[in-house]
Amino acid sequence: MRMKFDILTLFPNMFSSPLQESILGKAIEKGLIQIRTINIRDFTLDKHQVADDSPYGGGQGMVMKVEPIARAIESAKSQNPSAWAVYLTPQGKPFNQDLARRLSTRPHLILLCGRYEGVDERARELFIDEEISIGDYVLTGGELAAMVLIDAVSRFIPGVLGSVRSAEDDSFFNSLLEYPQYTRPSDFRGRGIPEVLLSGNHSAISLWRKREALRRTSLRRPDLLAKANLSDEDKKLLEEILQQIKKEQSGDGV
Ligand code: 4FV
């Protein structure tokens, strides 16, 4: 299974290095993912290649014109009409692991990167299948958001994370925060590592990791617990941890 990303942008060079490094770079070499940048300015018809204009009704900033976007998307879709077109915008649905997994089932994604105040509304109405936001803040352009999406989605493509591993693996930990990680040296400035990790006792180690993931999630992102698919055993473990945290926070935990 390989995946194709067509990126519609006014700044194609932004994508040159970030996507060539490390895991994504290797995935491209292995042909597991294909990334093509399409310069929207190449689809302007006037000699000044104007791709934006002032907003109707006045107001600050500029708006990206609909015609170049229309021609660019139609050219990208001409190779594959079933391509799924995504517009990165703060007004989109929040991007998360579940959405990344869902998008990874589509063989061809077209990613539209906005600039300035965004794109003409008719481009969204006529050509966009889904609008996605990577977070409640305003970027200068959708390019970085597109890179975030490509990175998270590509991790679900078999072979991208290496032969054995895929982002699907750690089902339990999928919707929880990760447990603490340690590596050599076993002592750093007087700080050691949890004994259990040196024990070689794998069931004890996975129990410790489960506890730590539940603990960290309860403390930092309790909202994620509601979405986590916890077994009855996990729920019992979580109960214990919540009791422990309550004791600690009420100061008589020591
Ligand atoms: C954004 C986000 C984002 C808004 C105006 C580009 C900018 C400019 N995209 N998640 N947050 N886009 O801030 O996806 O056009």
- Supply the residues annotated as catalytic: 90, 117, 155, 170
Q: In the structure, what pLDDT confidence band is assigned to residue 171 with cuts at 50, 70 and 90?
A: low
Q: Is the peptide bond before 158 cis (omega within 30 degrees of 0)?
A: no
pLDDT value at residue 204: 97
Q: Which amino acid is at 157?
A: I
- Quote the tokens at residue 128: 């966009």
Q: Give the CB-side neighbour count of residue 71, counting CA atoms within 13 A.
A: 11
Kindly provide the residue ranges of all beta strands, DSSP E only, lying in 114-216, ordered along the sequence. Answer: 130-133
Atom of ligand 1 nearest to the CA of 139: 13
Measuring CA to CA, which residue among 9, 247, 205 is closest to residue 111? 9
pLDDT value at residue 251: 76
| Mutation choice for ligand 1 from 91, 120, 139, CB with most ligand atoms inside 8 A | 139
Residue 195 per-residue DSSP state: G
pLDDT per residue as tens digits for the range 173-199: 668 999 999 999 999 999 999 999 999
Partners of 198 in the β-ladder? none
Question: Global pTM?
Answer: 0.91
Which residues approach ligand 1 with their CB closer than 6 A? 88-90, 114-116, 118, 133-135, 137-139, 141-142, 145
- Quote the tokens at residue 143: 């390019």
Q: In the structure, what pLDDT confidence band is assigned to residue 164 with cuts at 50, 70 and 90?
A: low
- Quickly list DSSP for 97-132: HHHHHHHTT-SEEEEEEPBTT-B-HHHHHHH-SEEE
**Can you give the length of the chain in residues?**
254
